[in-house]
A and B are shown apart, each in its own frame.
Chain A
Amino acid sequence: MSPTVFFVAIVSSMLVNNIVLLRFLGICPFLGVSKRSETAVGMSAAVMFVMVVSSVLTYLIYYYILEPFEIPYISTIAFILVIASLVQLVEMFIKKISKKLYKSLGIYLPLIVTNCAIIGIAETNVREGYATEYGVLPGLGVATVSALGAALGFALVIFAFSTIRERLEAADVPPAWKGIPISLVIAGIMALAFLGLEGLV
């Protein structure tokens, strides 16, 4: 396995298969916390952290617990439980070590449980079959890197979108289009732009 695999994985999950615009995961935070760029950055940081840690954990649980016991069909229940408790744990941990970090990040953490991007990436890692392609442990590396790429893609898009929305507030939009409708059309145009990256890797 060459290092280019990792490079391809990160570019592919960040740009070519962008998680928000092309795979439709994490639309709720994409629309919900993108009004200000500071909140967008905070949310992206929280998502990045939880996404990488949870994809490592769910990958290990899938291949070392669910597969040997032949119960992969309960993966949905197991994954969501892992994510929910991980989020709780991270929240408590951050609260303990840094009050400042908790203040800037803590409010986004409970929202992450219902962020389908997190469980979506956990499921994708298993479905893509990295383990059968590269072996279980090297596959974990690829899965982690692509989770990181997905989180970076989320951060990139949500930050760009929030800056657009900040400028949009000053624009004179017809009343029926104000707020979410015009934002969705803008997201559509952004998705069109990202389609241009198809075939990059």
Chain B
Amino acid sequence: MAKPKKDPGLLAVFTKGIIKENPVFVALLGLCPALAVTSSLETGLGMGVLVVFVLTLSNIVVSLIRRLIPEEIMIPSYIIVIATFVTIVEMLTEAFAPALFDSLGIFIPLIVANCLIMSRAVAYASENNVGRSAIDGLGMAVGFGLALGLIGLTREFLATGAIAYGVFIPLPVEGAILGFDIAPLNMEVFVGPAGGFIVIGVWLAVFNAIGLYKSRKRKEAWDRWVEKKKREKAEKKKQKAMESAGGSA
């Protein structure tokens, strides 16, 4: 139960970015792209993939140069590292996924100002070794991508009643799943700006509610666990006393 707080395993470093410290729903970082490019599942996931590349690579490089950079020019240097990877990723997207490039538009260069990437560089990569930083960046970015995918899924489904695939991300197949032909029920407002704010707000409230519920449960479970340990200890003591009594006899 009581894991050592210091030095968590690599798996824990990876998974904390997905659930416990999810960048969008817990830390509220990178909300601009989370609102702007999530009008469909694919654009959200596409942005997630780009951020996976940028954040992992920038964390690796920042971690490699962390001892060479004086503290006064830390932020400008890190921002140059990030901007370089953003430019590379921008060119690659334009070459290999032009539809995604067009739909993300200005938000690809804006990855550079995504507070998630800067905050991981300053808070994690500048203090940890390369392997750990890479895993941390990967986990955080995957958490970010999944959150964007979830928001995109919700908005696209509410707006069109279906989830299209193969439109923006170049897949060998193209089509739509969950196609409900319920045109009067489609709420186009959810593709628009207002829908983005409302969907994220509602998801945040849902996760908050789950968090509140779980922390209450955890407190109850903790109380039970303490009780159990106390009982076990008492039993052990009794057993020991009996054993020693038996030995001496």
Contact = CB atoms under 8 A, between A and B. Distances in A.
User: A and B: real partners?
Assistant: yes
Interface of A: 21-28, 31, 73-77, 80-81, 84-85, 88, 110, 113-116, 118-120, 123-124, 127, 175-178, 180-185, 187-189, 191-192, 194-195
A176 B208 contact: yes
A181 B207 CA distance: 10
A34 to B, nearest CB: 13
A114 B87 contact: no
A25 B31 CA distance: 9
A196 to B, nearest CB: 11
Given A27-B32, A84-B75, A176-B208, 9 more contacts: A24-B36, A116-B32, A119-B112, A120-B106, A175-B208, A177-B205, A181-B204, A185-B198, A191-B193
A106 B166 CA distance: 47
A185 B114 CA distance: 22
A114 B109 contact: no
A181 B197 CA distance: 9
B28 A77 contact: no
Interface of B: 28-29, 31-33, 35-36, 75-76, 79-80, 83-84, 86-87, 90-91, 106, 109-110, 112-115, 118, 189, 192-198, 200-202, 204-206, 208-209, 212
A76 B90 contact: yes
Given A119-B113, A175-B212, A185 B197 contact: yes
A24 B194 contact: no
Given A24-B32, A113-B75, A180-B204, A123 B83 contact: no
A177 B211 CA distance: 12
A110 B84 CA distance: 21
A191 B193 CA distance: 6
Nearest to B204: A181
Given A73-B87, A80-B112, A119-B113, A114 B118 contact: yes
Nearest to B195: A188
B206 to A, nearest CB: 8
Contacts of A180: 28, 201, 204
A77 B111 CA distance: 12
B87 A176 contact: no
Contact of B115 (A73, A114, A187): A114
A65 B33 CA distance: 30
Nearest to A184: B201
A192 B76 CA distance: 38
A175 to B, nearest CB: 6
Residue from B28, B113, B200, B202 whose CB has the most chain A CB atoms within 10 Å: B113
A27 B84 CA distance: 24
Contacts of A187: 197, 201
A74 B87 contact: yes
B212 A185 contact: no
A62 to B, nearest CB: 13
29 contacts: A21-B193, A21-B197, A27-B31, A28-B29, A28-B115, A31-B28, A76-B86, A76-B109, A77-B84, A80-B80, A81-B76, A81-B83, A84-B76, A113-B113, A119-B112, A119-B113, A120-B110, A124-B106, A177-B205, A180-B201, A181-B202, A182-B205, A184-B197, A184-B198, A185-B198, A187-B197, A192-B194, A194-B193, A195-B192
Contact of A77 (B32, B80, B118, B197): B80
Nearest to A18: B193
A50 to B, nearest CB: 13
Nearest to A173: B205
A30 B131 CA distance: 35
